[in-house]
Structure 1
Amino acid sequence: MNGFSDALIYLNDPFNWTRRDGILDLLGEHLGISAVAVLAAVVLAVPVGVLLGTTGRGAGPVVVLSNVSRAVPTLALLTLFAVSPIGFGNRATTIALAVFAIPPVLTNTFVGMRGVDPDVREAARAMGMGRRQVVLRAELPLAMPLVMTGIRTAAVQVVATAGLAALVGGGGLGRIVNLGFGQQNYGLVVAGAILVAGLALLTELLLVVLSWLVTPGPRRLPALVARNRPPSAVPEPTAAGVPL
């Protein structure tokens, strides 16, 4: 319990948040590394997933390779980068995290595009849409829930893993954990872990809301749908308990 109490004391001290290289500075650096990595993965993986999903060519090997790449630890990539021209620091961490984020985005985009009803494509073509319009205006919006699920999964994984930047001379909230281990101060370790976990949960929440906003159709929460359901949709029991 001493570690948790020390962590709370550390987190409740405003100086630890506002000082130079304090929590706010490390948080901004952590978010910057994560955002660049996820954005790079989206820019690379979504177009490839859309292309494979619409054509079906070479999809099997790419998706298998994508799934196998999940087994490669990010720390192993950072070790390889350390002995390469990429070197240490935030750049190496960003590249490694982008590689880590590509598989879920690519796989979910491919599955989402392949799951679009063929009748939708035919109806879009019958309306005079070209191939690009069919993809962008008909198929991609229907695949968006799965695409956003992949992006959300990748983002949460990246935010939770970006703390490894501290092991290769980078920044981010992992520096608090690294400093705690170096000083054998477990209060710092717990404080850093709380910050990273909280940021990952907040990322999940924000992307769930974003997924809900970009999903086509009536965007209503299940509770609101049940509340707004017409009374006639639910049969009313008679005195004998049997609906009319």
Structure 2
Amino acid sequence: MNVLNFVSDFFSDSAHWQGYDGIPTRLSEHLGYTLEALAFAAAIGLPVGLITGHYGRGGNALSLVATAARALPTFGLLVLMTMLIGFGMLPVMIPLVTLAVPPILITTYEAMRSVDPSPVDAARGMGMAETRILFQVELPAALPLILGGLRSAAIQIVSTATIAAYVSLGGLGRYIIDGLYQRDYEKVVGGASLTAGMALATLAVFWAITKVAVSPGVRRSA
């Protein structure tokens, strides 16, 4: 039986659409993990990236931190955190946030540094405060790249949040882990297909956000 048959059988089985192990429930759990990890990562990466990018300092240190964070094995970190903390959401959130912070942090910093200095200098010459320059001049121009960093982080989280199933949590990884254990490859392929579909949906969501949040002039120049 080929992959397409596995996919067809998985989605046509009504048992996969109801109950605690149903597709709506697992999608909701996976979405919850993704949004929570993305919120934590954005709360860390965006302020640091905005401030360091605005003042143009700390770029080398940020690169070192981001490189070190990317080098950490996500699954290994999950196992380590589970051994140290125990089961629950926290040992899952730590590796997911660690994975998502570097693209947000580095992209935000580079986005701020890439803003044309002419309007920034003009704003300073007019006596605007640094916070107003940051949020009213630099941020709107840097927004497309910043959203690109958030999009990259979100897709990485969506793809990696399946690890939650390894520590007895839910999400789409439940299909993959349980399917491998039961040798139910229909379930494995179905879980992988749902994860890929959710990643594509994330791309579409950020495309729509960019259309709404970024001004047409900035989009054209970007």
Q: TM range, normalised to the smaller chain?
A: over 0.9
Figure out how many residues of one structure are paired with residues of the other and give that number. 220
Gaps of at least 5 residues in structure 2 are: none
Matches within 5 A, 1:1-244: 1-85=1-85, 87-218=86-217
Does structure 2 retain, via aligned residues, the 8 Å contact 1:165–1:172? yes
Does structure 2 retain, via aligned residues, the 8 Å contact 1:34–1:94? no
Q: State which drifts further: 14-23 or 153-162.
A: 14-23
Moved over 6 A (4+): none
Q: What root-mean-square deviation, in Å, do the aligned CA atoms of Structure 1 and Structure 2 show? A: 1.7
Q: Percent identity?
A: 39
Gaps of at least 5 residues in structure 1 are: 222-244
Q: Equivalents in 1 of 2:129, 2:200: separation in Å?
A: 41
Name the aligned partner's letter for residue 103 of structure 1.
P
TM-score for both structures, normalised by structure 2: 0.93
CA deviation string 1:77-111 (max 9, x = no partner): 101101112x2233321221011100000000000
Name the aligned partner's letter for residue 51 of structure 1.
I
Question: In structure 2, do the counterparts of structure 1 residues 35 and 67 end up closer, same or farther at CA, with 3 Å as the change threshold?
Answer: same
SS of the equivalent of 1:16 reads: helix
Q: Equivalents in 1 of 2:216, 2:6: separation in Å?
A: 49
Q: Equivalents in 1 of 2:9, 2:89: separation in Å?
A: 29
Q: Equivalents in 2 of 1:17, 1:126: separation in Å?
A: 61
> Which protein has the bigger helix share?
2
Q: State which drifts further: 33-42 or 63-72.
A: 63-72
Name the aligned partner's letter for residue 30 of structure 1.
H
Deviation at 1:2, TM superposition (A): 4.5
